[in-house]
Amino acid sequence: MKKLLVTGGCGFIGSEFIRQQLAQYDDQAIVNLDCLTYAGNPENLAEVCDDPRYQFEHGDIADREHVERLFGEHQFDAVVNFAAESHVDRSLLNSGPFVRTNVCGTQVLLDVSRQAKIQRYVQVSTDEVYGSLGPTGFFTEETPLAPSSPYSASKAAADMLVHAYYHSIQFPALITRCSNNYGPYQFPEKLLPLFITNLLEDQSVPVYGTGANVRDWIHVSDHCRGINAALRLGRVGEVYNFGGRTEKTNLEITHLLLGLLEKPESLIRYVTDRPGHDLRYAIDCTKAERELGWKPEIGFDTGLTGTIDWYRRHGDWVEHVKSGEYRRYYAEQYGTRLA
């Protein structure tokens, strides 16, 4: 895999994947195609931006003309598609951008990748396509898809497109699905970075309903190691689940953070539950462990402490992101309004 097209590489997970690739493989070249929506931040890749093996391309995966031009300029060996609208609450307000990017954008990438005869295509998906679990059991790769939100429905539709391309024309694609990620550089609308940054400023934290919803947490670096293993070792046409084997209720997470940051319980603010809020996610990652030789390596306690420490030390990054200042800078640089 000498040259990769990574889409959505300025986001939380995509930027970690790019940093890992460039650190691990001396001969790896990467083109990062990113639309720079509100959660895509080139500052996440500041440490590699001057690396001659790395190239940033500002563009939209749903823009077929742009994607075709990019493929005409480069001989890509593989595509790893991180690009997605990914916040459930935003999808409940307006599902249009989710369908455009997650479904139509995936279709464009598949079509152009097929024409270019790439060797491997990896669709980075989510455990949310499986819907909600009861108090027992785990999602496996054989679990039927039952998405519960416009966001997860758009990701499930994209997964089905990828599967159809493999099944009908033997397109060399595979799909990865992962549980809740956490770690450095995560946009502070997600639970952990939102709660950490709020608590560091002695602001309240909003807990949906009673906080009983359960999530399985995996450190972003473990997730990206899994994607790399799937890219290089996975069988085309297959799905690989990645999880951290760490189930916590949202209320447990809240109390953990309050304790680690030495903040009072009075900062908990219970709010009306999200419509259609899935009760529980939990991943069985046995297949990835067996076939790819992968396993999660960062324990949750260690990972959470490190994440808190990162946000403490990167107050400027948090302020820059929350203020939108970086967006104004890049809008001027690219001469366009960033979504």
pLDDT classification of 153: cutoffs 50, 70, 90? very high
222 labelled catalytic? no
Confidence at residue 326, expressed as pLDDT on a 0 to 100 scale: 53
Q: Which residue has the tokens 């089905």?
A: 160
pLDDT classification of 339: cutoffs 50, 70, 90? very low
Residue 145: inside a domain, yes or no? Answer: yes
Domain with residue 160: its CATH number is 3.40.50.720
Residue 144: inside a domain, yes or no? Answer: yes
Confidence at residue 331, expressed as pLDDT on a 0 to 100 scale: 54
Q: Which of 34, 60, 85, 128 is catalytic?
A: 128
Per-residue pLDDT of 263-319, as tens digits, reads 999 999 999 998 889 999 999 999 999 999 999 999 999 999 999 999 999 999 988
Across the range 214-231, mean pLDDT stands at 98
Distance, CA of 98 to CA of 153 (rounded, Å): 9
- Which residues, other chains included, contact 44 with Cβ-Cβ below 8 Å and sequence gap of 6+? 10, 11, 12, 15, 185
Statement: residue 38 has pLDDT above 90: no
Per-residue pLDDT of 13-33, as tens digits, reads 999 999 999 999 999 999 999
Q: What does 45-80 look like in DSSP terms, one character per residue? A: GTTTTT-TTEEEEE--TT-HHHHHHHHHH---SEEE
Confidence at residue 141, expressed as pLDDT on a 0 to 100 scale: 98
Statement: residue 333 has pLDDT above 60: no
Tell me the three state secondary structure of residue 179. coil
Confidence at residue 173, expressed as pLDDT on a 0 to 100 scale: 98
27 labelled catalytic? no
Residue 283: inside a domain, yes or no? Answer: yes
Cβ contact 3:77 at 8 Å? yes
The per-residue b/e assignment along 306-328, b for 16 or more CB within 10 angstroms, e otherwise, is ebbebbeeeeebbebbeeeebbe
**Tokens standing for 295?**
């396993």
Taking CA 276 as the corner, what is the angle to CA 274 and CA 278, rounded to the nearest 5 degrees?
90
Q: Which of 85, 127, 159, 278 is catalytic?
A: 127
**Tokens standing for 196?**
């950490």
Cβ contact 165:115 at 8 Å? no
Pairing of strands 247-249, 268-271: unpaired
25 labelled catalytic? no
Cβ contact 165:173 at 8 Å? yes
Residue 292: inside a domain, yes or no? Answer: yes
Residue 339: inside a domain, yes or no? Answer: no
CA dihedral sign of residues 119, 45, 104, 230: positive
> Backbone phi, then psi, for 236, in 5-degree steps?
-60, 150
Tell me the three state secondary structure of residue 44. helix
**Whole-number Cα distances in Å, 223 to 94, 244, 253:** 28, 9, 20
List beta partners, residue 216: 247
Q: Name the pTM for this structure.
A: 0.94
Confidence at residue 325, expressed as pLDDT on a 0 to 100 scale: 58
Per-residue pLDDT of 42-77, as tens digits, reads 999 999 999 999 999 999 999 999 999 999 999 999
Amino acid identity of 115?
Q
Across the range 246-260, mean pLDDT stands at 97
Amino acid identity of 49?
C
Strands (DSSP E) contained in the chain are 3-7, 29-34, 54-58, 78-81, 120-124, 173-178, 180-182, 205-208, 214-219, 239-242, 247-249, 268-271
**Tokens standing for 254?**
């809240």
Q: Which of 54, 121, 130, 151 is catalytic?
A: 151
The per-residue b/e assignment along 199-230, b for 16 or more CB within 10 angstroms, e otherwise, is bbeeeebebbeebebbbbbbbbbbbbbbbbbb
Statement: residue 329 has pLDDT above 70: no
Confidence at residue 311, expressed as pLDDT on a 0 to 100 scale: 96
**Which ranges constitute the DSSP H helices of 170-295?**
191-200, 220-233, 250-261, 286-292
The total domain count for the chain is 1
Which DSSP helix (H) or strand (E) runs through 96?
helix 96-98
State which residues form the domain around 175: 3-334
Confidence at residue 328, expressed as pLDDT on a 0 to 100 scale: 60
Nearest Cα to Cα of residue 79 among 106, 39, 57, 49: 106
